[in-house]
Every structure is written in C-alpha cells, then in structure tokens.
Structure 1
Amino acid sequence: MSNSALNLSSAGSADNMSVPKVTEAAVGIVQRDNGMVLLGERPVGKPWGGYWEFPGGKVEPNETPAQALSRELYEELGITVTRFYSWLTRTYEYEARYDQAGKLVTPAKTVKLHFFIVAEWQGDPVGLEDQQLSWQNPEKLTVGPMLPANTPILNALSLAPMYAITNLKEMGQVQFLERLRIALENGLMMIQVREPHLSRQDLILFAEHVIALAKPFEAKVFINGDVEIAKQLNASGVHLSAQRLMELKVKPEGLMVGASCHNAAELTHAKSLALDYVTLSPVKLTLSHPDATPLGWDMFNQLIAGYSLPVFALGGMLREDLDTARIYGAHGIAMQRDIWGVL
C-alpha cells in the first residue's frame, strides 16, 4: 500500500526527543462467511518487507477512518467495500529497528489503528502493489511473520460472533445437551458454562459434558467464575463477574479471559488488564435481570467507542440482533435463551 497502516518510513528519528506524532490508520479485516481473512505480504524493499498484515492505510487529512478504509482497499486490492462494521481501535508503539551495522532501518512510531470488519465487497482482491495475498484461518496461520501490531488481532478474530450461555436450570440436562449438539452442528463455536445453582462438583460434571460435545467441533468453552475449574478441565477460558473483574490485579495466565461489564469503569479496568473480550449489559430488557435499566443501543455504542477489546452485547439478545449489534460496534452477541430455541 502506498501509505501503509504500519509504514514507518515517515516517522521521525529515534533520537528525536519530542513527543512522537500519532499516525492514524484504517485497517480492513476482509472476512469471508467461513471466517477466513485476507492477509498481504509487504514487498521486499518496503519497511517491514516480508511481514504479513491486514490491508489498510493512513487516514489522510480531512478523511474519516471509514473513508480511508474504502479508499485504501480500492487502491490496494481493487475491491469496492459495500458492507463493513467499525470494530476495534488500538494504539501500538513501534520501537526503532537497526541493522547489524547499527544503521536505523525503521524509526520509532506510534500508530492508532481503526480496525473494521469488511463483510461484503465487490470484485476479487488482487495485489495491486505487488504484494502477495493469502486467505488465512486466524487460528491456524500458514504464513508469517505477522506485523507486531497485527498479531493480537488474530486472538480477537478467534472469537465467534455468537456467544451462547448455558441454560441447564430452565431446560434440564437431557433437553439442553440435545439443543447444544444441534447448535454445534449448525456452527456454534463459543459457549459459556454458567450454572450458579450447581454445586462445584456438579458444575465440573456438567462442564465435562459440554466440553466433550464441543471438542469435535473445535468450539471454545469458557467456565463462568472459576479459574481453577477452567484449568482443571482444560477449557478455553474463564468468564469473570464484574465484581471479580474489579478485584483483579493481574490477568490469569494460561487461559483466555473475559468479563462482564456494565459501565465505563469496568470497561476501562478490563482494558487495563488486557483481557481477551468483555460482555456489556444489559442492552435490552432481560428475564435474568428484570429490574436492570437497559443501556439501549446508543449508550452501548457510546461506551465502546474507540475501545480496544472485542465486546459482546448481552441482555435480551435474539439471533436476529447480530447485525444491529455489529452496526453499533459490537464484536457479536451473547445469549442464554434464544440460541437454544427458548423464548
């Protein structure tokens, strides 16, 4: 790309003691329905040549990130973006790089990256700037290395847009496990085991059933509230309550970690801990918390504007709300009832 999202050639010298200017860029996650994403290899001779990246480029003066996205993807790939969603915003500080002789190769630079999910486009992507292109599974890359600022994005992309919360208490085990099997066969890839009425031992036994059913589909299973159970069962991760989140000083190691958030303070703390995702609720009226005042979509959007972690909208969600949630900045939606066919 002529003005790469991560092109360091225009940055000032590493010896410059002034506050570095932040370069803003738009980055497109061009994503097929099956989750495969488009990566490009930076040509040899450019800064970070040989590294792989998501397509995008610098936001020009008097241009919005969304306008920059459309322009850059047309110039770089020859595609016309027809449907996209604002996703994550992350700031990354590149350190200066030197060759073996001590010559400055790429100066230090701070970039603010506005990531967008590109869901629909016209035309077939072509490397118009002599870059090699490759469709990749974010969890199983066959190319590399990735540009440092892009690497954390792969973890976020491994999270499915539909997040199901178990509903054993209302459905009973036989019906629930059957509905879970059907949902997995229909593409469900992310489940949270949340059954506060169960004893610890019964929770372990139930979670084992869920993990066993999910394993052949490579679906992720998160355990609500208990880090030790999650580790014991080799679950994908743990989901923490807002109270537990605010008590947390360091992110637990060895697991993906998500948390429930309801306000700006909780979102800020989750970000400071570099969690893998959050839920934000309640967006709409919900049976689980009938007395809670819903945020509504506008407040939801205001709370996560410019946020760096994937956010799942929670509270009264229906499967049909996914597109609306993404329009308002969500990574996806979390549900306890509609996903299982329970109204």
Structure 2
Amino acid sequence: MPSRLLVLTDRAQLPAGRSLVEQVERCVDAGARWVCLRERDLPDDQRLALATSLTGLLRPVGGRLVVAAPLPAAAAWGAVADGVHLRRSDPVPPHASLVGRSTHGEAELRAAVEQGCDYVTLSPYAATASKPGHGPALGPAGLRRVIDAVPLGETKLLALGGISSGNAAEAMASGAHGVAVMGEVMRAGDPGRVIRALLPD
C-alpha cells in the first residue's frame, strides 16, 4: 500500500500558467508518493500521455500512480498505471493490482470493503471548495461513526473533501488510515509547502 497521502489531480484548479505535470512534480519533490490522475474529460491519447509523464516522476522515487476509471482497454495503460480508482458504480476490473473506490457513506463503504478494494476514499470530511454543496460534512465524529460501523479488514480508508494541513491529523486521529487531497494542492502556488504540511510525521 502506498503512503498515507493521496494527491488527486484537477487541472481546472491550477494556478494560471502552471501545467499539471509541473504541479505534480513539485508535489513529488516535496515527498508525495501517491497520485490519482483524474482528468476524465480528456481524450484517451492525451490522458495516456499525462499518465506516462506522471509515472515518469513517481516511479524513480518509489511512488505509484492510480488512474480514475474508466480506463481504456489499451494495453499501454498497464505499463503506466499501478492501479485504478473507481467511482461508486464502476465494476472492479479483474486484473488491477491496486484498486480504490470513492465512497460517501456507510452503505457504499461496506460494499467496497466486501468487494475487496485495497483502499477507499470517504467524503466529504469537511466543507470543500472543489465541490461546494457536497455533504453534509462528516467531521471527526461522523468519520469515527462510519468506521466503527464497518469492519475495514485490510481495506485502508482515506478521508477526502476539505482536507487541509489544519485537519489532516484530526482525520487520522479519528480513525482514517490517511487523507486524500485535491483542491488544497491543485490551487496552491507552492504545492510543495502544502505537501510537507500534510505528510504525516
């Protein structure tokens, strides 16, 4: 299992003039080792090129790239993606080595665990600028309640949504294995500083 910090991409939130590859490179230089490539709106060839570039940043430092479903069937994806991140209704692919799934409550979390997902994101932990109105926010008490209700077994749970340096430790103290972050990093002029603040000691 990769580190306790998962960075999700969203090029729409980048600072003006900054490329996604450059933003992720700054994150990797600061210690990020696990990235989820989203960018589902891109044509397959452009998305594959982005995945190839990000893998080129991550693998030399022992990092891993997961790609948000749907993945094309092209064999080239197997060479650049270490795993797949599924939406709530995506089927589990038969041969993926690392499988994650987005969940938003107890029922979805339980289903993902029963499917044998390696990790899940549970959201929203807090109010989030990336998806305003998405909620209600779990907060530490809500997160603890869901975790207590669903035996996770080997599945690692990452808190997602409104995660920042101010609440990441709180989320992990409330039972999350780690945190997943998008907007706080993607919008940052200095994403390396944000990564260093988010990484667990």
TM-score under structure 2 normalisation? 0.81
| CA distance, structure 1, for counterparts of residue 24 and residue 176 of structure 2 | 24
Provide Cα deviations, 1:99-125, integer angstroms capped at 9, x if missing partner: xxxxxxxxxxxxxxxxxxxxxxxxxxx
Does the 8 Å CA contact 1:242/1:266 hold for their aligned counterparts? yes
Q: Using the TM superposition, give the Cα deviation of residue 181 of structure 1 relative to its aligned residue in structure 2, in angstroms.
A: 1.5
Q: Which amino acid aligns with 1:235?
A: A
Q: Could you tell me which runs of 5 or more consecutive residues in structure 1 were left unpaired when the two chains were aligned.
A: 1-157
Does the 8 Å CA contact 1:183/1:340 hold for their aligned counterparts? no
Match of 2:158 among 312, 315, 319: 312
TM-aligned CA distance change 1:233 to 1:168, over 3 Å: farther
* 2:36 aligned counterpart, secondary structure: strand
Residue 215 (str. 1) matches residue 67 (str. 2):
no
Number of the residue aligned with 1:288: 130
Equivalent runs, 1:57-72 vs 2, <5 Å: none
Number of the residue aligned with 1:327: 173
Residue 225 (str. 1) matches residue 69 (str. 2):
yes
User: Which has more helix, going by share of residues?
Assistant: 2
| CA distance, structure 2, for counterparts of residue 312 and residue 185 of structure 1 | 22
Q: Which amino acid aligns with 1:161?
A: R
Q: Using the TM superposition, give the Cα deviation of residue 236 of structure 1 relative to its aligned residue in structure 2, in angstroms.
A: 1.0
Residue 198 (str. 1) matches residue 42 (str. 2):
yes
| CA distance, structure 2, for counterparts of residue 251 and residue 205 of structure 1 | 22
| CA distance, structure 1, for counterparts of residue 172 and residue 47 of structure 2 | 32
Q: Percent identity?
A: 26
Number of the residue aligned with 1:236: 82
Q: Could you tell me which runs of 5 or more consecutive residues in structure 2 were left unpaired when the two chains were aligned.
A: 190-201
| CA distance, structure 2, for counterparts of residue 203 and residue 176 of structure 1 | 12
* 2:80 aligned counterpart, secondary structure: coil
* 1:292 aligned counterpart, secondary structure: coil
| CA distance, structure 2, for counterparts of residue 237 and residue 180 of structure 1 | 18
Q: Using the TM superposition, give the Cα deviation of residue 259 of structure 1 relative to its aligned residue in structure 2, in angstroms.
A: 0.2
| CA distance, structure 1, for counterparts of residue 147 and residue 52 of structure 2 | 34
Runs ≥4 residues deviating over 4 A: none
Number of the residue aligned with 1:255: 97
| CA distance, structure 1, for counterparts of residue 138 and residue 79 of structure 2 | 35
Number of the residue aligned with 1:298: 141
Q: Using the TM superposition, give the Cα deviation of residue 252 of structure 1 relative to its aligned residue in structure 2, in angstroms.
A: 2.6
| CA distance, structure 2, for counterparts of residue 282 and residue 269 of structure 1 | 18
User: Which has more strand, going by share of residues?
Assistant: 1
Specify the structure having the higher radius of gyration (Cα): 1
